[in-house]
Each structure stands twice: as structure tokens, then as C-alpha cells.
Amino acid sequence: MPEGDSIFRAARTLHRALAGKVVTRFESVLPALTRIDEDAPLAGRTVDEVSAAGKHLLMRFSGDLVLRTHMRMNGSWHIYRPGERWQRSASDMRIVVATGDFVAVAFNVPVAEFLTARTLARHPDLRQLGPDLLGTAFDVENATRRIRERARDAIADVILNQRVMAGAGNVYKSEVLFLCRINPFAPVASLTDTQVAEVVETARSLLAANVGNAATGGIVTYVGMRRTTRRADPAERLWVYGRAGLPCRECGTLITRRAQGPDARLTYWCPRCQP
């Protein structure tokens, strides 16, 4: 599943390509979207903004219309020049938003709906989101309070809970807890205030480090493989995630893996560094 950094980069790229441009063509294989387009065509509207809210991508059009998409496990947005060959099969296409300069294509997006500003503000999935780890107005105290409210839950499960903090996924869950030297199965109640604060700050810094430089103006969709170690070698880009049975980069102990939580997501940790 794409994590918050991937959605942030996708939204930023789409915004740079589409914002301020007039839609020349809209196409979708999703009946709920095509019905709206038939009643109030997208063509002729202006793309006002594209932004991320945790793992949700919001594309705002003139005339009070917002396209919300969620990638789940396999969804993605691509940007092409008009006439450029797509890198995915046309059978995977779910949405096309075209302007005179660019064509944005959503492939295998399982969740997509049109909203108005009013229904967006009332949307349950968005209203219940915790503070966005990549948001400019991130509320540290709010995030800390939400973590503490789940005193009986394992800290790894809490990091994945988008109602606590929005944006972190399974990779960051394991990497954050390794850097904080916290056992992923430890209940929140067992953590000190210092440890909780470190979890929040580490999650924020890791995601921020993987979205690239927001000040650059180019159309950039890829900034290299996700890294948490700051090491140049791609084979050493992560501390523990995906490294079950391999030696810990810090102490040499073999990394352990176990399914965790209601969705049985895999957790990786070092038994020695994270006792």
C-alpha cells in the first residue's frame, strides 16, 4: 500500500502539472464518476488544486467539485504528455483527467468519488483522520494525546492507525520503532512520555526526508527508493523492514518478522536493539 510520502509526492506532481489548467477531457470506467460527468461535465472546468490528506488524494475543480481517490494496495496516478504511451495497460485505467499540456491517469484505483466542499467536510474517513505527518500545521500535542488514548494497544498498531496519525504505513512502522529502540509489541501504556514524543518526531522526520524538496518546481514523480538509513548503497536503504533473517545493521542479531494486528501486517524488528 502506498504510504503517506508516496501520496504526498503524487499530489504535488499532479498539482504542478494540472493546477490552473482547463480540463479538456475526462474519462472513467467507474459508473459513479461518469454519472456526475454526464450531469455536470468536467471538461471546461479548471483544476484548482491537488493535495494529499494522509493517504487520500484530493483533486479540486472549479464549480465546487472534488475528486477523492485512495490507492489502497495497488492504485497509482501517472502523468503523461498528450500522445505519450502509457506505462500500464489500458485495461488498468480507472480515471483520465486531461489538459492541453498533460494527461493524468489513475490506474487500478479502487476508491474514487466526487464530493462537494460540504460533503468533503463531513466525509467520515477524512473527518476521523489524525494529524497529517506531512501537514504544515501538524499538531504534536494532538498526536501525542491520540497515542496515549490507546494505552492497551501495541505501539506498532497505533502507528498504523490513521485516526491517530495520518500517513505512516507498514514500512515506516517498523523503521520508526527500530530507530526509537522500542519493541513493536509493547503496549502504549508501557512507554514513557519521552518515547512517545520520539515516535512522533521520528515518524515526521522520516516521511519528510522521503518526499524530496518541495521548493523545486519541476514535475518530479520519483525521488529514489524510500530510505531511512541515509546510506548511499540501495541495498542498505532500510534498517529492518523486509530483512527477516538478516543481521541487524547495528548489532548483528538476526532480524525477526511476525504478523501483527487485525490485518496481520508484517512487523520487522531486532530482538536485541528492541527488547
> What amino acid positions are annotated as catalytic residues?
2-3, 55
Give the residue from 201, 164, 160, 163 showing the smallest Cα distance to 180. Answer: 201
Q: Which residues contact 235 (CB under 8 A, 6 or more apart)?
A: none
3-state helix, strand, coil in the chain (%, to 5): 30, 25, 45
For β-strands 76-80 and 103-107, DSSP reports them as antiparallel
Q: What are the backbone angles phi and psi of residue 115, rounded to the nearest 5°?
A: -130, 165
Residue whose entry in the numeric block shows the C-alpha cell 464549480:
63
Q: Find the helix or strand (DSSP H, E) in which 124 lies.
A: helix 124-127
> Under a CB-based contact definition with an 8 Å cutoff, are residues 22 and 36 in contact?
no
SS3 label, residue 76: strand
Residue whose entry in the numeric block shows the C-alpha cell 467507474:
30
